[in-house]
Amino acid sequence: MEILKRAWAEVHLDRLRANVENYQNCLGSETGKTQLMCVVKADCYGHGSPACSLYLQEEAGIRWFAVSNLNEALELRESGITGEILILGYTPPEYAGVLSENNIIQAATDLEYAQELSSCADNCAGKPVRVHIKLDTGMSRLGLRFSSPDEYCEQILSIASLENISAEGLFTHLSSADSMDSESVEFTKEQIKLFDSVCNKAQKLCPQLKERHFMNSAGGVFYNSSKATLARLGIIMYGLTPDRELKLPFELHPVMELKAVVSQVKYLEKGASVSYGRTFTAPGRIKTATVAAGYADGVPRLLSNKGEVLIGGKKAPIIGRVCMDQLIADVTGIDVRPGDVAVIIGSDGANTVTADDIAEKCSTIGYEIVCGITKRVPRVYLK
């Protein structure tokens, strides 16, 4: 389909694969049995789930995928994903049959929830609901939470023994693996120690719990373990850092670039105000470019008067408030015409603006920036 060249996102699949390979190499030879579980929830963090996931399956050999909910899992199945799919979040128990029919693994977060899944799976023609049991080791979000490994194991065995439930793995989530201060490092080590202790006991009592995973993006880099059968690769896969201050041992390749066209160029005289609220006043005669992208496309309104775009290889400050569909940049001294391309995220000449750069200006994280690029922005996939 030919796209309307107003605002669009270019997704570089070769960069996606490069980030995956760098992460795999970082896991090291001692974790050679650890497979990657690619986290493709939230539409692959805004990059487009069907296209990216299929590429990962067909070109990068990925066989494990993680999503947030049942709708995302079904979208993967409908788009041709044949590998394993784990739902990390909540699925209403009455959809147990849908999970079974589509061979989707569900996170079991407590005994009561697992019992409801089992009860609702009574009419699944003998197909059990596959689950990975979630342990809360310090995130205080989802999962079993107890004070001793023995108490964890008691609940794990109760879940694993339920009719219509096929318990196949154990997992947890590290809350601070991307922080290198001493307190965070110690907390993360304690999480892993507790998880390993529970797994060692539970897997002896219940051998069918073959899968064990706790490593997220930062966890796989700094806390990789040969005991883990899976490593969940998220934000690093898309070329962004788990934390801006975190120094990684390999180069990241940002996968997405956000671009838009210049719709008009004009000159403003000294004293002219710009955009809603008149928050910017021209200090002298300036040249401006109206760019056809705004906060309805995913350009944060917080970039008003402090962000920048790249035009003609040069930085052009955003002036005035970012509008719903447009923004205005000061292009004084830049050779620019209507129809030229403005780079909002990406590179132009020697200059680059990353989602992490934008996040810093907005006091947030790169995850939020890429996830915020809306559906009305077409994705163009490049290899």
- Where in the sequence numbering do the catalytic residues fall? 41, 276
Phi and psi at residue 66, in whole multiples of 5°? Answer: -125, 135
Q: Answer whether 38's CB lies under 8 Å from 65's CB.
A: yes
Phi and psi at residue 34, in whole multiples of 5°? Answer: -85, 120
Q: Answer whether 335's CB lies under 8 Å from 345's CB.
A: no
- DSSP secondary structure code for residue 37 in this structure: E
Q: Answer whether 219's CB lies under 8 Å from 187's CB.
A: no
Q: Answer whether 291's CB lies under 8 Å from 329's CB.
A: yes
CA distance 66 to 68: 7
> If you write DSSP's letter for every residue of 194-236 in order, what string do you get?
HHHHHHHHHHHH-TT--EEE-B-HHHHHHS--TT-SEEEE-GG
> Dihedral sign, CA of 173, 199, 110, 159?
positive
Q: Report the Cα–Cα distance between both ends of the chain, in Å, rounded.
A: 17
Maximal C-alpha separation, the chain: 78
Buried b (16+ CB within 10 A) or exposed e, 199-228: bebbbeebeebebbbbbbbbbbbbbbbebb
CA distance 325 to 295: 7
Q: Where are the beta strands (DSSP E) in the chain?
A: 7-12, 35-39, 64-67, 84-87, 105-108, 129-134, 165-171, 211-213, 230-233, 256-268, 273-274, 280-281, 286-291, 308-311, 314-317, 327-330, 341-348, 351-353, 379-382
For residue 335, give every residue at least 6 positions away whose Cβ sits within 8 Å of its Cβ, in sequence order, or none. Answer: 312
